[in-house]
Amino acid sequence: MPRKFFVGGNWKCNGTKASIEELCNSLNKGESVESSPVEVVCAPPAIYAQFARERLRKDFHIGLQNCWMGKGGAFTGEIAAEMIKDMNFDWVILGHSERRHISELHENDDTVAKKVEYAQTVGLKVIACIGETLEEREAGHTQQVNERQLAAIAPKVKDWNRVVIAYEPVWAIGTGKVATPEQAQEVHLFLRGWLKKNVSAEVAESVRIIYGGSVNGKNCGELAKQPDIDGFLVGGASLKPEFLDIVGSFRSSL
């Protein structure tokens, strides 16, 4: 069975009530994807999640950008997975490169793996992010880094149908640089091969592996044609009307 295309919009730490309402109004003008082979999830800042859901079209789902690694309690400033589920949001982004590499946050592989494991226990679906820095790529360590990060997550996954792997080369996020379709396909193929060898052939064939890194309305079509790229995790362009063009790129994969 073909893998259903997936497009996530990570709004990051951006927005006001006015700008989010404007963005939702713009995205609501797009063609319905309710019966199309594409799944769309937008992740606004947590404080605006309910505000966005009340205004955003119903065929686009709302997720959160992060959650705590365990049950709620005396963890000031954190959001528990149970809280996300209690508000009827189904998706959460975990292990994003900015949470891994911004020095004040600096989540490691073990922290990300714990979050992935716990989020599933309360029924959340997970967009799990991995990816190498420019220094790691230039040193020839692209496969090694992505293998290490995926290997930390894989044993914690209980149901691969509820997990999307997002390959995000750190050097391409917010820089305007984008991996060529060939570079992205090479890593996606490697990741699928790793899953086949270390998890199962069934999981390798069915799991969705999406690309993130300066994806926009102009480059998404060529990237979507690659056989192992199953969609995108979009940053800056998810705050613009061109996000609809990226959602529509699923047609290039058919």
**Could you tell me the residue ranges of all domains in the chain?**
5-253
**This prediction's pTM:** 0.97
Residues of the chain falling short of pLDDT 50:
none
**How much is the pLDDT for 148?**
98
Neighbour count for residue 68 (Cβ, 10 Å): 20
**How much is the pLDDT for 177?**
83
**How much is the pLDDT for 149?**
98
Non-local CB neighbours of 243 within 8 Å, separated by 6+ positions: 7, 9, 27, 234, 237
CATH class label, 5-253: alpha beta
* Residues with catalytic roles: 96, 168
Non-local CB neighbours of 7 within 8 Å, separated by 6+ positions: 38, 39, 40, 41, 210, 231, 232, 234, 243, 246, 247, 249, 250
d(CA 248, CA 50): 25
CB contact at 8 A, 101 and 79? no
